Homo-oligomer: A and B are copies of this chain.
């Protein structure tokens, strides 16, 4: 148009101030960003153009905001805008379980195949059992009893699965329930199978955990199920990271992946443990 497109838009901005095109003045940057997160949370996603229009700023500004918020982990950037960043890993299995996704997925896959229709299974807390829960989402006529928040979350919308959540105090680190309430509830149910996770597992002492509250619960779960499985990727075998132990029953099954030391596997087999080594590769996701 004229010689100075810049000065023209400056005039527009002046006018904007005077007449308040967006009404009641513009929000400070900080509030605007907070509001963006708000909006994104409200309807899951927010588009750049819409936001720019809504706040009366240019798309550039919105993009900068989104870049900032993304770097802060409050949002996730998409093509035309951003989406509410459900902190994958906090609620579900995400970054947290990146370590050994394939292994855990494969182990969980094998475990899921063992569970028949109309059975009742107990699932421990932990990322591996969360994978198992995920594998059970589309199952029908199945009852899952659990102390794991991640497990419940995975099955929250699995209409075909009956989910029984034992109560208890929430351990923020593991997202599992522990304490008297869990133990009392456990006394009121029994199951066909129990699938346990483990911070470490040895032939001599059994499952290793951070404290006795957890190991006690694991022992109780084992006592309430006919068949006991321990799901532990190869790195857990023979490890003793803590000093609380859950003793194993006479008969149980160890499910691990090919990353396990053959010598370690042999040690378990020699002790009469039924050891399953699943193939990491070629197990489709969903």
Which residues of A line the B interface, CB within 8 A? 31, 34-35, 37-38, 41-44, 74, 76-79, 83-84, 86-95, 98, 101-102, 149, 152-153, 155-159, 162-170, 172, 175, 177, 181-182, 184-185, 188, 284-286
Contact = CB atoms under 8 A, between A and B. Distances in A.
Contacts of A94: 41, 44, 84, 86
A158 B171 CA distance: 10
A214 to B, nearest CB: 16
A91 B93 contact: no
Given A86-B86, A164-B169, A164-B181, 6 more contacts: A41-B94, A44-B94, A76-B78, A76-B83, A84-B94, A90-B157
B149 A172 contact: no
A87 B158 CA distance: 14
A181 B283 CA distance: 37
A80 to B, nearest CB: 9
A115 B152 CA distance: 28
The CB with the most chain B CB atoms within 10 A, among A84, A86, A166, is that of A86
Contacts of A95: 43-44
B156 A90 contact: yes
Nearest to A97: B42
B91 A91 contact: yes
Q: Which 6 A-B pairs have the closest CB atoms?
A: A167-B167, A163-B170, A86-B86, A38-B285, A86-B88, A42-B101
Contacts of A285: 34-35, 37-38, 41
Given A44-B94, A88-B44, A285-B41, A167 B181 contact: yes
Contacts of A164: 167-170, 181
15 contacts: A34-B285, A37-B286, A43-B95, A76-B76, A76-B78, A78-B78, A86-B86, A90-B157, A149-B152, A155-B170, A156-B172, A162-B169, A163-B169, A165-B168, A185-B185
